[in-house]
Structure 1
């Protein structure tokens, strides 16, 4: 049986213009189908305009900046969300077609479809009667 191939998460630190900041890691669910992977990332507070996706050197980068803030004149009494950015990176295996990745974003959830190359997809072998 062949070894199951998946994308591998990577930890990163985001460097801002002011200082080195540890970005929040969005929770991600990954589902495998015969055609590829479906990746769902929760990024509440991020808008489509502040979301940045790219693939570079077989690494898929997800970065989103939270846009809704109460204002600088307000000081928080209690805070659970400490960062202003989400960041996550995944190393993609050679079985995935990086040129055909599809992304949709709705209500703070990023959905990526990462297709497999045709040669990597399972195929049914036809049996002929002799």
Structure 2
């Protein structure tokens, strides 16, 4: 099988790999997960001066910027240079339900950790259900003030009979109060 080398195709492949914006994302890989009432974002930034790391929020947009400078002596002759220097940028849309005022960050051992708390309004909560009894409402101009009664059997259980003041079903035929 004969292989044909096309220098223009190879040049196009290399240029595409260098200019592809997705390649820049690999320079600041991130992990994002939720733990309890906050999100945690970890970004790998090895060799970055902590003073050059900038995390800011503008509206719902979280932006992480960092600068890496590689120190070299004036007369150095490079044999290979794979570590990139320059500016790094990553932006994330936070969406709704984030407590923007309480976002915090720390940089330790080459990893930037950003703690993003969920707002109180967005946290799951238990909603109390209030019970309304017929005694509390006037239905068709009539009101009863009979006390609710529950009879006990000798074994300690309760019977299933319901009085007009209880929350059980009644057979009086009225429709009851609705929402």
Please, which runs of 5 or more residues in structure 2 have no aligned partner?
A: 1-20, 130-166, 168-179
Give the count of matched residue pairs: 110
Residue-by-residue CA offset, 1:44-103 (whole Å, 9 max, x unaligned): 111221111111131111011114422353242222223322211111111111111011
Q: Which residue of 1 aligns with 2:81?
A: 79
Cα distance in 2 between the residues matched to 1:103 and 1:49: 13
Cα distance in 2 between the residues matched to 1:87 and 1:76: 27
Please, which runs of 5 or more residues in structure 1 have no aligned partner?
A: 1-10, 12-21
Cα distance in 1 between the residues matched to 2:30 and 2:94: 15
The structure where helix makes up a greater share of residues is: 2
Query: What is the TM-score of this pair, normalised by structure 1?
Result: 0.70
Cα distance in 2 between the residues matched to 1:114 and 1:72: 43
Cα distance in 2 between the residues matched to 1:60 and 1:75: 40
Q: Which residue of 1 aligns with 2:110?
A: 108
1:41 Cα offset (Å): 0.4
The structure where strand makes up a greater share of residues is: 1
Please say if residues 50 and 107 of structure 2, whose CA atoms lie closer than 8 Å, have aligned partners that are also in contact. Answer: yes
Q: Relative contact order (C-alpha < 8 Å, sep 6+): which is higher? A: 1
Query: What is the TM-score of this pair, normalised by structure 2?
Result: 0.53
1:124 Cα offset (Å): 4.8
Q: Relative to 1, partners in 2 of residues 1:48 and 1:78: Cα closer, same or farther, differing over 3 Å?
A: same
Q: Which residue of 2 aligns with 1:49?
A: 51
| Residues 22-61 of structure 1 aligned to structure 2 (within 5 Å) | 25-61=27-63
Q: Which residue of 1 aligns with 2:120?
A: 118
SS in 2 for 1:46: coil
The structure with more radius of gyration: 2
Query: Which residue, 69, 72, 79 being the options, matches 2:71?
Result: 69
SS in 1 for 2:121: helix
